[in-house]
A and B are shown apart, each in its own frame.
Chain A
């Protein structure tokens, strides 16, 4: 039997044992997300479609799956969704400028040898695809932070209905700060684990520090880590503000209608 089938089966059984119905939904969401990712990649092979717009649509669908399917459609997931999209748009602009200037797109000289048999002139825009890669690797973490901020904010709002917008915003920020450390850690270690081979390669071939810092692969990895951190930090004030605005606004509307 295939390793992947075994691991997937074990994960599925564990998720159902521990999470019940919600566990099953979490597992299915992994499959759905994989489908969305594959579809995005297939569309990206068409040079006439802008990869950035494609990424934006893919991110919207993925956050729908992560927010509305695993959780339910309610005010906290809707505000989390809006803040995710706003953060992604800001981050996309930033990352496109960055990858345009740093020229980290495509493949590095360390990778190119293995790809000798392939034609590299395939017409798609690798700069934009590079930006898409960075965004996609952070989207899971960004939606996670968004929902972790909006759901306790709503709890506080229900326990304390007369709370002011500013207090609500500050409360959101303080929750965000608490999870900032662990969430950045999650991504850092995931990337470190993935780059272990690369680090050993650099050390084995005794690259000098200046060669490492300027090499395409290493700077691309570092920039991915930094952009992921920036994304996680940016969503905190955005999600807190939008949620505070939304909750206070609906309260005022309710008062008016009464």
Chain B
């Protein structure tokens, strides 16, 4: 207890205000997601009783065994004109749960109410979707708290940079939708410049290291984008299966290129800032260090991070395809077909990102050395 009190006394008034704001936001948002039923237009029901009615074993044409269950659900309506009434729902689900799920007492569901049952005391209806906002908010808070506890100030800055970048991206997409004549790649180029400047300044502050990293990031991303574009153009995009790209309402090549562009940006920034801060670190330790020594150590650092950075992108892109690959394979699709159908775009993204990462190593090295020389000439 005494430790806590002394810790508390060490806090500055600024920190106390910050903690108070975060605490209030936390409590307010948790209360809100628990009582926001009336903000929804779609009817919401909370499960109060479930009853398993029927179990059947089924085997599909590919010899996959599964179990189908039918569940009777009694739920209480939480909003709208029927608030407080009881509704009866049925739910079919399987053990695999690819597009269905078992519901438990306490789950909140979006439902539709059958019109012919209206007026009677016992309503019936069907389930539309699950209310997930509560959990998204909980996990967002766990994320924020863990980042703040571990990262302190840096954690706060990375949360801010995430939020600012997300808003910026959303705004950029609005601009594109408002005026589809402007090219998405152009809009993304402008956003990429903004993203880079904002994120790197937030992570590293105003100094030469950051300026060198910003220039290296921009050069690295644009050069790698150019190479990717050139390859796509030369090969006339042979081997890319755009038809499996999900959620498409727009010209797919544009969306794909813009995705490659933004996707590799984070990794390229990471490489650029690592290169510039470590080379500046060496210079600050020893102001008379030769350019040749800086080059060798810089290249060594670059070699060290090259492998892990490309692997980060690789896993971030490919892992998302695991469920669909399993679905294809279980439906007796040949392995080669499954992979080329579902992984071509992800692999292209990962490889293009990798090219960006590797190119940024020499680019970062030489831009930083340029800035070091400038600083040396001035002092």
Tell me the residues in window 164-204 of chain B with beta carbons closer than 8 Å to chain A beta carbons: 165-166, 169-170, 173-174, 176-177, 195, 199, 202-203
Alpha-carbon gap, A224 to B248, bound state (A): 21
Q: Does B9 contact A (CB under 8 A)?
A: no
Q: Closest CB of chain A to B210's CB: distance in Å?
A: 12
Whether A136 and B313, one on each chain, are in contact in the complex, defined by CB atoms closer than 8 angstroms, is no
- The reply to whether B64 and A107 contact each other, CB–CB distance below 8 Å, is no
A157 to chain B, nearest CB (A): 18
Evaluate contact between B140 and A226: CB separation under 8 angstroms. Answer: yes
- Contact residues of A between 148 and 206, Cβ < 8 Å to B: 173, 176-178, 180-194, 196-201, 203-205
Q: Is A223 an interface residue (CB 8 A)?
A: yes
Contacts A41-B325, A118-B331, A119-B60; is A107 near B147 (CB within 8 Å)?
no
Contact: A214 with B96, CB < 8 Å? no
Interface members, chain A 108-129 (any B CB < 8 Å): 109-112, 114-115, 118-127, 129
State the interface size on chain B (CB cutoff 8 A).
Answer: 130
Q: Which one, A11, A127, A210, A230, contacts B97 given CB within 8 A?
A: A127
Query: Which residues of chain B come closer than 8 Å to A106, judged between CB atoms?
Result: 96-99, 323
Does A256 sit within 8 A of B, measured CB to CB? no
Is residue A247 contacting chain B, with contact meaning CB distance below 8 A? no
Q: Are A185 and B203 in contact (CB under 8 A)?
A: yes
A132 interface hit (Cβ, 8 Å) = yes
The reply to whether the CB of B154 lies closer than 8 angstroms to some CB of chain A is yes
Whether the Cβ atoms of B170 and A201 lie closer than 8 Å is no
Interface membership of B293, Cβ < 8 A:
no
> What is the 8 Å Cβ interface bit string for chain B, positions 327-364, against chain A (1 contact, 0 not)?
11111000000010000100111011111001101100
Chain A 13-49, CB-CB to B under 8 Å as 1, else 0, gives: 0110011101101100110011001100110110100
Min CB gap A48→B, angstroms? 10
Additional pairs, 8, CB under 8 Å, beyond known A125-B97, A141-B312, A185-B158: A19-B302, A22-B307, A104-B132, A105-B101, A193-B260, A196-B173, A200-B247, A200-B249
7 contacts across the A-B interface (CB closer than 8 A): A11-B310, A103-B130, A120-B96, A126-B98, A185-B158, A189-B265, A223-B136
